[in-house]
Chain A
Amino acid sequence: MASVELKAVGKSFGDVHVLSGIDLDIADGEFLTLVGASGCGKSTLLRIIAGLEVQSTGNVLIGGAPVDHLRPHERRVAMVFQSYALYPHMKVFGNIALPLVMSRLNVFERLPLIRMLSPRRHRVMPEIAREVRAVAEQLQIEALLERRPSQLSGGQRQRVALGRAMVRSPAAFLMDEPLSNLDAKLRVHMRSELADLHARLGATFIYVTHDQVEAMTMSSRVAMMDNGVILQLGRPGELYSRPATVKVAQFIGTPTINLLPARVGAGHVVELFGTALPVRVKHAVGSALTLGLRPEAVTAAPVALAARDHQHALVGRLHRSENLGAEHILHVDLAEPASGTLTCKVASEPEAFVDGNRRLALTFSPAACHIFDSDGRRIGDADVQSAAESSVPAPARVAVQ
C-alpha cells in the first residue's frame, strides 16, 4: 500500500492533447475516483499510472518514489479492466495465481513439461495455491476455482478479476470502469461490496468511471475531469454542494441541475428573468450570469398559494411528470416573463399543486442557488451575500407573476 502522486502529467498524441498538467496527490489508503464523460482523459490517466501508457510530460510517483522508468509489473499496481480481461483458457485458479506464478517462478519453472523437473516449483506451487485460496475465500469464490471464465456470470467474473488484483497485495488498485458491464441491480450490489473491500483492505484505490453515482457513493475524494484537465477535486459532497464550474454542476446530481440565464442588475443584485433575487455579487453591473438550481432544491406549490405567501416563485405549465414511486420528477415549461424549462423533484403527486390549466408555482431558497460567471466558473461564496444584510434595499419577493 502506498500513496500515488502525479506531477504535471501531460499526454498528447501528435497534436491532440489528451491530458495537460495533471497534479494529483492520492494519499495512502484513499479511494479516489476519476469521473468524467467519455473522452475526458480519465482512462488515459489511469493507464499512465499503471505504466501501460507513457506520459509525454510530468512524473508519476508511487510510495514517494518515481516510477516513470518502471514497467507495469514493477510498479506493484493491480488493475481491474472494464472487460475484466480474464484469461479465457485458464481456470479461475490459474487466473488468480498468474501474478504470483510470474513473480515467483523463473522461465524454466513455467515451461510446459520442463517445469515438472523443477524441485523448487513443487515447493512454491502449494504456497501459491494457499494464497489463491485465501483470496478466493475473501471474495466467496472458492467454489468457482475449477471453472473457466466462460462458465461464470458477470458478477462472478468481476470477483475473479478483483481476486487476481488482490492476490499480489499491490501498492494501489487501479480500476477502469469495472462495473459498467454489469446489470443495474448487480451494479448497486457490487458498489457496496467494493466500498466494503476498500474499507477491509485499507489499500489505495484509483477508480475510473463515467457514472456519477459510483463516484459519489464509494469515494473518499472525487476528481472530476473534462477535456484533459481536472475541473474539481474534493469530497463527493463538495462536488454536489459547491460545484466549481457549470460542467461539474451538470455532471453531478440526477436529474441534471437546472441552468437559468441571469444577469447582474443595479446594485450588483442578481436578476433572474427581470426580478431581483436577494443575492449580491461583486461582478460588474450588466454582466451575464448562469444560475444553477438543483431539481431537489425546487419546491412546487399551487399558484394561488405561492402568490398569497409572497414566495420567490416561478410559474409554469406542467409538461410531463415521471413517477419514481417515492418521488416525482416534474418537467415544467416556464411561463412569461421566464422562459425555458425547469425540472424539479417533489415528494407528492403533481395533482396536489396543478390547477385546471396544469399551471403551478415553483419556489426555491436563494441560498440554494449556484451562481456561475459568464465563463462558467462558480462565484465564490465570499462574493455572494444575502442582499438583506447589505445596505441595498432588497426586493421583498421574487414572484415572477
Chain B
Amino acid sequence: MSTSALAAPIVAPLRNRQQWVERFAGMGFAFPAFMLLLVIDIVPLLVLLYLSFTNYELGALDTRFVGLDNFRKAVGDAVFRRSLGNTFVYVAIVLPLAVGLGLLIAVLLHSRKRTRSFYEVIYFLPVTSTLIAMATVWQFLLHPSLGPINGVLKALGFHEVAFLSEPSLVLPTLAAIGIWHLVGFNMVLFLAGLSAIPRDLYEAAEIDGCRSGIDRFMTITWPLLGPTTMFVIVTTSITAFKVFDTVAVMTRGGPMGSSEVLLYAIYLEGYQYFHMGYAAALTLVFLVFVLLFSIVQTFALDRRVHY
C-alpha cells in the first residue's frame, strides 16, 4: 500500500507526458497529409460551396449572395436536365459492357500461356492513349463519307451511317468509344483478381464434380472475384459519369443537344458563358451524384463480399 501510494504521483505525470509525446508525434506524422488534403480537396470544395450560393461571373466586379437561386434555376433548366438524363443513359450503356467485356477478356486471357502478354498489351493500349487525341482519330474513322468504317459498311451493301450526327446514334457511339477506352483497364484489374485465386480451389472443385468451365466459373471464379468486381464497377461508373473528352472533341453536345452530358454542361456554363456561380452549383450536384453512386454500390455490394 505504502509503496504504491508513494509511486503514484511520480508515475502519473510520466505516463501523462508519454501520452502527450505520442499524441503530438501522431499529429506530426498526419500533418503533411492533412495539409495536402486541405489545400487540394477541402479548401476548393468550400470555395465551390460558397460560389454556388453567389452569382459570381468570371471578371465581374460585384458579386451578390443569391442563396439557393442557382439550384432553383438548375431544376428548371432544360439543358441541365437533358444533360443529366444523357449522362445516365451513357453510364447505363458503358457500365455493364465495360465490366462484362473486361471480365470476359480477362478470363479468356488467364488461360492462355504464351500469347497472354501479347494480348494484354493490345487490350491495354487504348488505356495508355490520350482520349482527346484518340477522339480525333475516332472522328475520322466514323466520318460518314471519308471514314473507313462507313467505307466497309458501304462495301458490304449497307447504307451510310451517320454515327455522330444522328441523334439516336450519337450516345451509343460515344459509349462504344468509352467502352473501348475502359475495357483494357478493367481487364488488368480482373486479371489481378484471377491470379489471386488459389489453384487448389479449382482442383478441389474439379474433384467435387465441377465438370465444365461454366461450373468452375459459377462455383469459384465469379464468387471469388467479388471484391475485384465491386471495385471495377465503382471505378467504371465514376469514370463513365465523368464523360467529357469525347463529347468536347467530337460532338460538342450535338446534334440538337442529344449528346449533352453533365460535365460538358458545366464546362459550357463556367468557361464559355462565364456563369461561375451557376457552374459551381451544377458541379456540386455532380459531386453529390458521384458520392451517392459510390455509397449505394459499396453498401449494396459489400453485403455480398464478406470473406
| A positions within 8 Å CB-CB of B | 50-52, 71-73, 77-79, 81, 83, 85-90, 98-99, 102-103, 107, 110-111, 148-150, 164, 168
Contact = CB atoms under 8 A, between A and B. Distances in A.
B198 interface: yes
B6 interface: no
Contact of A52 (B206, B210, B214): B206
Contacts of A107: 214-215
Interface stretch (B23-31, B40-48, B167-175, B220-228): B220-228
Closest 3 CB pairs of A and B: A102-B209, A85-B204, A85-B200
Contact of B198 (A77, A83, A90, A150): A83
19 contacts: A50-B207, A71-B206, A72-B203, A72-B206, A72-B207, A73-B206, A73-B207, A73-B209, A77-B207, A79-B204, A83-B200, A85-B200, A86-B204, A87-B220, A87-B223, A88-B224, A149-B307, A150-B307, A168-B208
Contacts of B114: none
B218 A85 contact: no
B201 interface: yes
A87 B219 contact: yes
Q: Is the interface of B mostly helix, strand, loop or mixed?
A: helix
B64 interface: no
Nearest to A81: B200
Contact of B207 (A52, A83, A110, A111): A52
Contacts of A111: 218
A292 B53 CA distance: 94
B208 A81 contact: no
A111 B201 CA distance: 20
Interface residues of B, number: 22
Given A102-B209, A107-B214, 9 more contacts: A51-B207, A77-B207, A81-B204, A83-B198, A85-B204, A98-B209, A110-B218, A111-B218, A168-B208
Contacts of B303: none
A103 B209 contact: yes
B215 A88 contact: no
Nearest to B201: A85
B307 A89 contact: yes
B15 interface: no
Contacts of B208: 73, 98-99, 102, 164, 168
A392 B219 CA distance: 75
A148 B223 CA distance: 14
A232 B204 CA distance: 30
Contacts of B306: 148
Contact of B215 (A85, A87, A89, A102): A102
Nearest to A102: B209
A89 B224 contact: yes
B113 interface: no
Nearest to A52: B203
A103 B101 CA distance: 31
Given A52-B206, A81-B200, A88 B307 contact: yes
Interface string B170-214: 000000000000000000000000000010110111111111001
Interface in B250-292: none
Contact of A87 (B201, B209, B214, B226): B201
A50 B204 CA distance: 10
A51 B223 CA distance: 25
A164 B198 CA distance: 18
A85 B223 CA distance: 15
A98 B203 contact: no
Contacts of A102: 208-211, 215
B11 to A, nearest CB: 39
Contacts of B198: 83, 85
A90 B218 CA distance: 12
Contacts of A71: 206, 211
Contacts of A168: 208
A228 B201 CA distance: 26
Contacts of A89: 223-224, 226, 307
* Most chain A beta-carbon contacts within 10 A, residue among B206, B208, B214, B306: B208
Nearest to A98: B208
Residue among B198, B207, B209 with most chain A CB within 10 A: B207
B209 A85 contact: no
Find the residue from B220, B306, B307 having the highest chain A CB count within 10 A. B307
Contacts of B223: 87, 89-90
B285 to A, nearest CB: 36
A148 B207 contact: no
Interface string B218-241: 111001101000000000000000
A183 B210 CA distance: 32
A87 B226 CA distance: 13
A98 B207 contact: no
Nearest to A170: B207
Contacts of B211: 71, 73, 102
B209 A99 contact: yes
A103 B215 CA distance: 12
Q: Which of B201, B203, B204, B224 has the most CB of A within 10 A?
A: B204
Nearest to B223: A89
